[in-house]
Structure 1
Amino acid sequence: MSIEAGSKLQGKVTGITHFGAFVELPEGKTGLVHISEVADHYVKDINELLKVGDEVTVKVVNVENDGKIGLSIRKAIDKPVEEKRPPRPSRPSQSDSPRPNRQSGGFRGGSKPRVTPSFEDKMSRFLKDSEERLTTIKRQTESKRGGRGAKRG
């Protein structure tokens, strides 16, 4: 039985490092399970999940030309097929929703026409709001420093 990518095998943990675990496979070959392939969740310390001598089921992820074998424990576990999401509710047709009437600039369906402010109106509103905010910030800052006319000595 040759070891090929995609096959599931039984193996025995022979060594543990900070980056993964070495697993002895059939035919005496050894592969590495990287720490990110041990579980579906974040694994800070691999020693919490595996011990030397543990029997594990692994899936062969890759076999490199130099003989290194990449393994995964989390991919070897068959997960139940997730249910598909229910279909999204359909949108109402265009005739049901009020859409802008490009010719008149208003809305269909008896709603009040909306007046879009001009650029100048938007700019003057922005400047007014900015001045109000700056004034508020200056007042708060001056009160913390001792206000106007406070003598420094």
Structure 2
Amino acid sequence: MTEPLPATHCPECGGQLTAEETCTDRYHACMALELTDPAYGAVHHFTVPAYMLQHHSQLSADGWQAMAQILHEFLVAGVSPARMRQLIQQQQKTQRKSFSLVKGRGAERPSWPSTKTIMDVRLDNPDVYCADIRAWAEAVHNDIQQHEEVS
């Protein structure tokens, strides 16, 4: 019996996979760098939403919308991670959360191709890494914005 050929592209984001690494593997490598080295961790607030938005099966439909808004706030409004934590805490004190990021109706796969994916992120050194993460997050945001303008 022959072994099935490995997928060459991620079914969620379309990223080019290798025999050694999937998107999930690369995400875990990114998390290991970001959580152990502050120079890499400087872009953690971009990595998580960009990955989750491109890997829709991780989120509920409402969670996907919330994550898109969070990425927008970080990139466009320039909200810092510390300020985002404050805003979320304030909101939780005044409003009952009406949805779950992960539970409920699942997010649908975006109908557009991804311009960049986590597989485009180079892990070489913090400067290259941070520039790649920022460019990837901006591409994810721009892909969403272009799609929403057309809808």
Q: Which has the higher helix share?
A: 2
Normalised by the size of structure 2, how large is the TM-score? 0.18
Specify which structure has the bigger relative contact order, considering alpha-carbon pairs within 8 angstroms and separated by 6 or more residues: 2
Which structure has the bigger radius of gyration?
1
Normalised by the size of structure 1, how large is the TM-score? 0.18
